[in-house]
Structure 1
Amino acid sequence: MAAPLALLLLLGISLALAPPLAQARSLRFVTLVGMLQQWDLGQSLRKRYHGFLNASYNRQEIFVRSTDYDRTLMSAETNLAGLYPPQGQQMFNPNVSWQPIPVHTVPDSGERLLKFPLSPCPRYEQLQKETRHSAEYMNKTRQNLEFLEMVANQTGIQDVSLESVWNVYDTLFCEQTHKLPLPQWVTPDVMTQLKQLKDFGFEFLFGIHQRVEKARLQGGVLLAQIRKNLTLAANASSPQRLKLLAYSAHDTTLVALQMALNVYNGRQAPYASCHIFELYQDNDSNFSVEMFFRNESGREPFPLTLPGCAQRCPLVDFLQLTDPIIPQDWERECQVARDGQDTELIVALAVCGSILFLLIILLLTVLFRIQSQPPGYRHVSNEGEEQP
């Protein structure tokens, strides 16, 4: 099997920081565990790509991009510490087995690639309103109404819904992962149901109703950039010589991307998950793409197959199959169609125009009659004249 010509990977979530509702006493502990998870991921990637990536850090072959959050920046930096332990002259201090590697980001207000759902997008919000009225969403709400009310009462959080219950689950799962005691009302059955509802919440964001159009407005944006990078790497005339392009992002980033690719398994990605794209140059000089997903420490990533293609998918087929979910003009596609309102406006303008036209005709008629009278003609009343 040919070695990968270019590697692109998407880093997932980690326990770098505890969720907002977690107990304050767990923050430092969670941070250390999150660092260890990402360091382990970096080590596994170093092992996987031994002989492909330089043993020592080379700034020409790697580019790392993160969202502007402490936890994702920390995840990227810790991952890189495992991927590129300093070698030789790169060890600036013999007591520090670490070296600085750039992690790029943009302000959160300008993030249009890695944070999902992307907004503002009126058409996506319209699709979400339609999803809330779908039979699947309404049935799920009815089936879990009593459970959601119980969670609201136990936590003191108002308006717990299918869309907000993930906050509760994330907090409890984080504490459970770190062997912290859970409240008495949090039984194994409660955790199972909370997880199911969180998974459904992901489906709500990117699926259930009009999945393909949602993909064009969400995960398709990131996939478009990945496709661009794959194409550049396969172009011999391109000046790009990157071997690794890494994104450090969120669970919703992974779900949006995998939902767009139609490879999402319906379950929350574990901490330090990693979706991998590998580009290969085959023996016939053509290019192909393979995808893998690492969702468990200590195990090799398992292959993902794009529907309609083989696991090793020719690049031309990969691009063709993913075309329907790539937005051509995201801002334009995000606009809401206003057919009904436009029709009403046209009718109103037509009525006003007709009235104005009639008034003009009437005015012209009056003017014409006035001007048509003979010069000097004056009607004289015959009132008081004698009769013959």
Structure 2
Amino acid sequence: MNIFLLFFYGAILPVQSNDTLINVQAIWRHGARDFYYCNWGCDKNNEPDGDSQILTPAGMRQQYVLGKWLRQRYIIDNHLLSPQFNENEIYIESTDYNRTIMSAYSNLQGMYPEGSELPNVTEDKLLPPNSGSKSPSIGNYALPNKIQLIPIHTKEEEQDYALAIYCKTTGSTVKQNKQTELYHTINSANQTQELFQKFNSELGLVGEQQVNDIIELAKWRDTFTCNRYNGDQLPPKLAAKTLFFMDEIALLSFSLRQFQNWEQSKLYSTPYLQQVIENFDNFINGKSKVKYRGSSSHDSTMLGIISGLNLTSAQCQADIYLKKEQSDIFCLTENIEFSSNLIIELYNNTINGLYVRILYNGEYVPVCSKQGTFCQYDKFKSILRQQFVDYEKECNLSKEIQRPVVYKIPLWVILFFVLVLLCTCGIFLLVFKLKQMKDPDVSDSTISQ
């Protein structure tokens, strides 16, 4: 089947019986959290210490439901994974933030709701050595409510390029992006200025308090979004229409801030997409048995990836916002809300070989072209590899902080040092014995003192 037919096949027909789903890599934004910016309805002098942007109960529920959706698709419907957790089949990673780690745990509770039963052992083997310990009345399951615990892997932020997109040049990138013609065009557009005016009026902001920048406006919008998800109040005079327009421009402001051009999109998407190709290749070549890899991340991670996959761009969003004539392209414009997710599926066709499909929030999106939702894996890999950049170099990351190097000492070196140590001890012992033989009264006189 040539590529043209593959596009046609992907646009018209569902996956056929001779197609087998063999590997999945999913990435999601964490669930609803507490506010990030203290700009309305909070006390700057009474902010909590530590990670204040913790996952809320609403965020836990979001991720739990997403996990159930993933279970239905990849365990029940497609039989990709075993019904019970199998450590050889899945690998879960997260950025080193409370909200992403908690999101991963919540997600996995939906994906694997029941844990393993206890082995047939005596009661004392189920208790710690503490005196007075008693076994709880929770039946034959290890934990209450049949909970299944699954390991979640993290890295320090400075070493996490794929999910935390740690990069030393991000600050200068944002500063430069706020000086571009495209940024000023959007910021000074009539509909944007009208939005600023309404927002400032409805919130009663005057003087230096007034908002006249779309990135600053996005920070206020983030607070209101958290309030909406967590049942907190909104400004009483903030009109629903104003909030709607703030939602409409949210993704555009984020793209203009950090992912404004193709070079920036390529940069921030490189680490994760490189990881995707590496994981698929390792599975195909038999180097890995992992069938499902889940990654708990942030909206910045997600926007970098969907920009790198050509599913959106600052320019196409700006053209839509300014109501310019559009070419026939696919362009996501809705903001990456809490628990948004992107899934890359790898299939094997018995006749035509490997191909990929991509879902964004549960819907298939174009891959390798503006129309087709199928793409042969070799072509997908070739396209991505052509756009990969040297991330460490572009982000000014020194070799010292990349990844911890584990030095493995050769066995012969260890044996050599052990032999030297034994010989040294033997020599000292021999010298001591010879000295005793020459002066037999030394030891007795020492003891009698």
TM-score (norm 2): 0.64
Kindly state the Cα deviation for residue 291 of structure 1 after the two structures are TM-superposed: 0.4
CA contact (8 A) 1:152 1:158 kept: no
Among the aligned pairs, what percent are the same residue? 22
**Number of aligned residue pairs:** 323
* Structure-2 separation of matches of 1:29 and 1:109: 21
Structure 2 equivalent of residue 230 of structure 1: 280
CA contact (8 A) 1:212 1:325 kept: no
Kindly state the Cα deviation for residue 10 of structure 1 after the two structures are TM-superposed: 0.6
CA contact (8 A) 2:58 2:229 kept: no
Kindly state the Cα deviation for residue 275 of structure 1 after the two structures are TM-superposed: 0.5
Does residue 146 of structure 1 match 2:197? yes
Q: 1:247 to 1:60 in 2, by over 3 A?
A: same
Structure 2 equivalent of residue 370 of structure 1: none
Structure 2 equivalent of residue 97 of structure 1: 146
* Structure-1 separation of matches of 2:304 and 2:37: 22
Structure 1 equivalent of residue 22 of structure 2: 5
Superposition map of 1:98-247 within 5 A: 98-116=147-165, 118-120=167-169, 124-125=173-174, 128-131=177-180, 134=183, 136-140=185-189, 144-147=195-198, 149-150=200-201, 154=205, 158=209, 160=211, 161-208=213-260, 211-235=261-285, 238-247=286-295
Cα displacement string for residues 264-287 of structure 1 (whole angstroms, at most 9, x for unaligned residues): 302112322210011111113621
CA contact (8 A) 1:207 1:259 kept: yes
CA contact (8 A) 2:30 2:59 kept: no
Between stretches 38-47 and 172-181, larger displacement belongs to 172-181
Q: 1:281 to 1:62 in 2, by over 3 A?
A: same
Q: 1:77 to 1:153 in 2, by over 3 A?
A: same
* Structure-2 separation of matches of 1:178 and 1:122: 31
Q: Secondary structure at the match of 1:218?
A: helix
Structure 1 portions without partners, runs of 5+: 295-300, 336-388
Q: Which amino acid in structure 2 is aligned with residue 314 of structure 1?
A: Q
Give the counterpart of 1:267 among 323, 334, 347: 334
Structure 2 equivalent of residue 308 of structure 1: 369
Structure 2 equivalent of residue 69 of structure 1: 97
Structure 1 equivalent of residue 59 of structure 2: 34
* Structure-1 separation of matches of 2:252 and 2:23: 35
Kindly state the Cα deviation for residue 87 of structure 1 after the two structures are TM-superposed: 4.1
Q: Which amino acid in structure 1 is aligned with residue 354 of structure 2?
A: F
Q: Which amino acid in structure 2 is aligned with residue 215 of structure 1?
A: S
* Structure-1 separation of matches of 2:272 and 2:208: 34
Kindly state the Cα deviation for residue 44 of structure 1 after the two structures are TM-superposed: 0.9
* Structure-2 separation of matches of 1:315 and 1:157: 53
Kindly state the Cα deviation for residue 157 of structure 1 after the two structures are TM-superposed: 8.4
Q: Secondary structure at the match of 2:180?
A: helix
Kindly state the Cα deviation for residue 331 of structure 1 after the two structures are TM-superposed: 3.4
Superposition map of 1:247-286 within 5 A: 247-264=295-312, 265-284=332-351, 286=353
* Structure-2 separation of matches of 1:157 and 1:230: 52
Does residue 318 of structure 1 match 2:318? no
Kindly state the Cα deviation for residue 9 of structure 1 after the two structures are TM-superposed: 0.5
TM-score (norm 1): 0.73
* Structure-1 separation of matches of 2:365 and 2:41: 37
**RMSD, matched Cα:** 3.2
Q: Which amino acid in structure 2 is aligned with residue 268 of structure 1?
A: N
Q: 1:276 to 1:180 in 2, by over 3 A?
A: same
* Structure-1 separation of matches of 2:209 and 2:226: 22
Q: Secondary structure at the match of 2:146?
A: coil
Between stretches 257-266 and 144-153, larger displacement belongs to 144-153
